[in-house]
Amino acid sequence: MTLNYLNLIGNAELVKQLNYAMIYRLIIQQSPISRIQLAEISQLAPASITKITRQLLKKKLIKEVDVQQSTGGRPAVSIEAKFDYYQVIAIKFSRDDLTIELYDLGGNSLAFKSYPLNDFTQRLAQNYLINVIELFIHEQSKKIKNLIAISVVMPGVIDSVQGIIRYTPHIQVNNWPLAHILNEKFHVTVVVGNDVQSLALAESYFGSTKTVKDSILIRVHRGVGSGVIINHQLLMNHNQSASEVGHIQIDPLGGRCHCGNFGCLENQVVNIAIEEKAKRLLEQGYPSKLTSEKCDIATICQLANQGDRLAEKLIKNAGENLGQAVAIMVNIFNPQCIVLAGEITKAPQILLSAVQSSLEAQTLKQLRENVVIGCSTLNDKSAIGAFALVQQALFNGSLIMMILGDEK
């Protein structure tokens, strides 16, 4: 009897969370919207809509707006989201720097700062991060009125459920309980996640894939990472990871990867691999405006766009290799949209054409014919991916329940 009773309580709380999440998301997606329209779309009783909207209004997550004048003289009242009352700190760890950004709940950036990052131990990284957050809060004190969440993303294996960093390539960690530590220090909700997976989520919320249900984002930088969105949800597994596209074998005779395999995609298309190949070809006498002193990925893309044959060759070759991995992803997931991100996308026409060629050669026609391939529309330097994890917590209701439970 006790177990059944507890199950009923748990189920009731989950239903409440999901109902609040559904209404909040509908308000964001279709505002301004009336209570009657919310009831019709959600299939919830008008009384339930009244209760939910009353609580969301009380906590200043939504606001009422006059949208039209009725024939009786009194304006009809609708609802829309209120974004400016709460703030979120979003943080992105990369191998070279730490980006910290302040957002409102509409995803609008209110403040931005970047700090250099060196190789750290877990303890040093933790102290550095706390100091940066404290300094940022102090500097932005006039803008931070109601801080409700801190979100941190980084490369590696991140257990977002437990809030633990299992592995990251640039910091020595041992099951780093980062979410718990930051929650204890700053007393707000803390979420952590993988940087590329969160970027895929951000693209789905704010970027070029927000109109489709199923999409894949692949980012090329020092490594190759990806995030898969299925029915608007980030695909995760028991290990809080999925789709290690960078370690798909592209060339069985290729060089050894740090993972132990040979000819991984990552070894073929990351920035440093393209730059090193450029230097080798220049040494072999290939004519180009590139020089051994200046053949970074940005210059390669710039010259490729200007018709430099060696630069074009480098981007095309990378695109064909990347296209092999894209083809595998299309065959497995059959997404509506593939989005590429990273510095290599600065030569979009050459890159996308090469990717498309591989896709056409290695996928079923029925799976590829409606797939759109494009480049990310988001600012790759921002911490928008970290903010997307907070948006996800709002949309699944977990953060809304935290806000509603805060009666201070």
pTM of this structure = 0.90
> What's the maximum distance between 2 C-alpha atoms anywhere in the chain?
83
Between CA 362 and CA 297, with CA 201 as vertex, the angle to 5 degrees is 60
pLDDT surpassing 80 at residue 406: no
Output the six-digit token pair for 211.
């109109």
pLDDT for the residue 200: 95
Q: What are the tens digits of pLDDT across the range 230-245?
A: 999 998 876 655 567 8
132-159 core/surface letters (b: 16 or more CB in 10 A; e: else): bbeebbeebeeebeebbbbbbbbbbebb
What's the start-to-end Cα distance of the chain, in Å?
Answer: 35
pLDDT class for 336, splitting at 50, 70, 90?
A: very high
Residue scoring higher pLDDT (272 or 245): 272
pLDDT surpassing 80 at residue 309: yes
Q: Domain 2-81, what architecture?
A: Orthogonal Bundle (1.10)
pLDDT class for 407, splitting at 50, 70, 90?
A: very low
pLDDT surpassing 80 at residue 14: yes
Of the options 3.40.710.10, 3.30.420.40, 3.90.1150.10, 1.10.630.10, the CATH number for the domain spanning 87-200+383-405: 3.30.420.40
Domain covering 208-375 in this structure, CATH number: 3.30.420.40
pLDDT for the residue 241: 59
pLDDT for the residue 42: 94
Whole-number mean pLDDT of the chain? 90
State the DSSP string of 79-141: EEE--SS-EEEEEEE-SSEEEEEEEETTS-EEEEEEEE---EEHHHHHHHHHHHHHHHHHHTT
Residue scoring higher pLDDT (276 or 72): 276
Q: What are the tens digits of pLDDT across the range 136-183?
A: 999 999 999 999 999 999 998 899 999 999 988 888 899 999 999 999
d(CA 55, CA 37): 18
Mean pLDDT of 112-139: 93
pLDDT for the residue 120: 84
Mean pLDDT of 337-352: 96
Sequence ranges of the chain with CATH classification 1.10.10.10:
2-81
Of 48, 105, 164, 43, the residue nearest 391 (C-alpha)? 105
Mean pLDDT of 267-276: 92
Q: What are the tens digits of pLDDT across the range 193-205?
A: 999 999 999 999 9
pLDDT for the residue 285: 92
Please tell me the least confidently modeled range out of 10-24, 91-105, 295-309: 10-24
Sequence ranges of the chain with CATH classification 3.30.420.40:
87-200+383-405, 208-375
Chain-centre distance of CA 7, in angstroms?
Answer: 34
Within 10 Å of residue 24's Cβ, how many Cβ atoms?
Answer: 21
The answer to whether the CB of 314 falls within 8 A of the CB of 300 is yes
Phi, psi dihedrals of residue 82, rounded to the nearest 5°: -110, 115
Phi, psi dihedrals of residue 347, rounded to the nearest 5°: -120, 65
Q: What are the tens digits of pLDDT across the range 36-80?
A: 999 999 999 999 999 999 999 999 999 999 765 555 566 678 999
pLDDT surpassing 70 at residue 3: no
